[in-house]
Amino acid sequence: MRLVFLGPPGAGKGTQARELAHAGGVAHVATGDILREALAAGTSLGLEAKRYMDRGALVPDDVIIDLMRERLAAPDAAQGFIVDGFPRTIAQAEALAGLLKDAGQALDRVIYFEVSERELLRRLTGRRICRRCQTVYHLVSAPPRTPGVCDRCGAELYQRDDDGEATVRNRLEVFARQTAPLLAYYHQRGLLATVSGEGSVEAVRAAIRAAVGAER
């Protein structure tokens, strides 16, 4: 299974990719998580990425492509992966195709999560994340049992710096301008499957499973 999860910020890519990769025994590769980990570790990659992430802009293609070349060559990705948050530009998509071709591999499917802008804003401004285990909550639709505390590990929950409303609006514009052209790109290659990302987490998961199992 080699899948790309494509969709605007807040569409539920991470929520679904984490579960499905775990269930399928494949790697979950999320570029945003890798960049945030690099920032937390204080690496030069993390510090460079922060300059873009804080304003909702994309990190330059060459930085992301180098990072993904290394990540997809790791042993845990050899049997399959779900990539979430990459590619985000045509240049990144071309680079991914090249990397896979060199490895004698190909994508099975690109899943596009369709969600209205109003719902994306609601989700992102209400999202809270565990500082330790990264479990994702929502203040209204998936609240923790104790406010501000992770159900799983008891650590503090925080709001991402780029989840304030102004930055979210910018991220949505960046998606429309730079990432949405990938829909036509993957449609032309027979790889695109669109699912509604607006149902319950379980309903969206079932739709993805159906899309992955369906004939291309």
- Report the residue number whose CB is nearest to ligand AP5: 32
Binders in 148-187 for ligand AP5, by CB under 6 A: 162, 171
Determine if 56 is a binding residue for ligand AP5 (CB under 6 A). Answer: yes
Give yes or no for a cis peptide into 147 (omega within 30° of 0): no
Strands 2-6 and 109-114, by their bridges, are parallel
Amino acid (1-letter code) at residue 132? R
Active site residue 50: no
Annotated active-site residue 127? The verdict is yes
Contacts of 143 (CB under 8 A, 6+ apart): 137
Query: Which one, 48 or 104, has the nearer CB to ligand AP5?
Result: 48
φ, ψ of residue 145 to 5 degrees: the values are -65, -40
Closest CA to 11 of 163, 113, 84: 113
Of 44 and 215, CB closest to ligand AP5: 44
Nearer to ligand AP5, 43 or 216 (CB): 43
**Residue 212: closest CA among 10, 9, 26:** 26
Q: Is 171 a known active-site residue?
A: yes
* Per annotation, catalytic residue among 71, 88, 128, 205: 88
Stretch that binds ligand AP5, among 80-88, 102-110, 148-156, 183-191 (CB under 6 A): 80-88
In the set 3, 6, 7, 107, which binds ligand AP5 (CB under 6 A)?
7
CB neighbour list of residue 47: distance below 8 Å, 6 or more residues apart: 39
Query: Which residues lie near ligand AP5 (CB under 6 A)?
Result: 7, 9-15, 31-32, 35, 52-53, 56-59, 64, 85-86, 88, 92, 123-124, 127, 136, 138, 141-142, 162, 171, 200-201, 204
